Homo-oligomer: A and B are copies of this chain.
Amino acid sequence: MYLVHASDREIGELVRSLVELKKKTCLCSVCFNLSDSDVCPICADRSRDQTLVCVVEGPAEVMAIEQTGAFKGLYHVLHGVISPMDGIGPEHIKVRELLDRIGNGKVEEVVIATGTRVEGEATASYLAGELKRYNVRVTRLASGMPCGGEVKYIDPVTLKTAVEKRHAI
């Protein structure tokens, strides 16, 4: 309804933006994140730790992790997760590209930051297995209690993980 009442100028601007969005957006040739240049600003930033690569499912995850300010390395965007139920295997996402990138040396730690649903965990296991052949430290996001949580309201599976993975303080 908003668009029906919008002026021709507004509609024109929207159309131009949509066309430009498609035209200007590409994937970074290094990390496969969305970018408007061949190498994205994150990969091009020499002040970031070039030995640390965080593997994520998609561009939205890059944004979420950047927002935390906790990560100063580079990313690798898989564009999906392995999901046999949906017919998605490693060959359908950017796994080959990740292994090629790691094989080129330089990277010392790969942080697997896929989600904690079945597909995300399975993808993490698969990648950890594949990465064993390379001389890199493979790490995974910590699992446990979310911040601000009350023990009695946490789902049993998360609570079980939090008890099992308890750590010395």
Contacts and interface: CB of A to CB of B under 8 A. Distances in A.
Interface in A131-169: 137-169
B164 A70 contact: yes
Given A70-B164, A156-B67, A159-B70, A145 B169 contact: no
Nearest to A162: B141
A65 interface: yes
A9 to B, nearest CB: 34
A90 interface: no
Interface of A: 54, 56-58, 60-61, 63-65, 67-71, 111-117, 120, 124, 128, 137-169
A64 to B, nearest CB: 5
A116 B151 CA distance: 8
B115 A151 contact: yes
Identical chains bound together, number? 2
A147 B157 contact: yes
B63 A163 contact: no
B57 A151 contact: yes
Which of A69, A145, A158 is most buried by chain B, counting CB atoms within 10 A of its CB? Answer: A145
A48 to B, nearest CB: 14
Given A54-B163, A64-B156, A141-B159, 8 more contacts: A67-B159, A68-B160, A70-B159, A115-B149, A117-B148, A120-B150, A141-B144, A142-B143
Contacts of A157: 68, 147-148
A160 B65 CA distance: 7
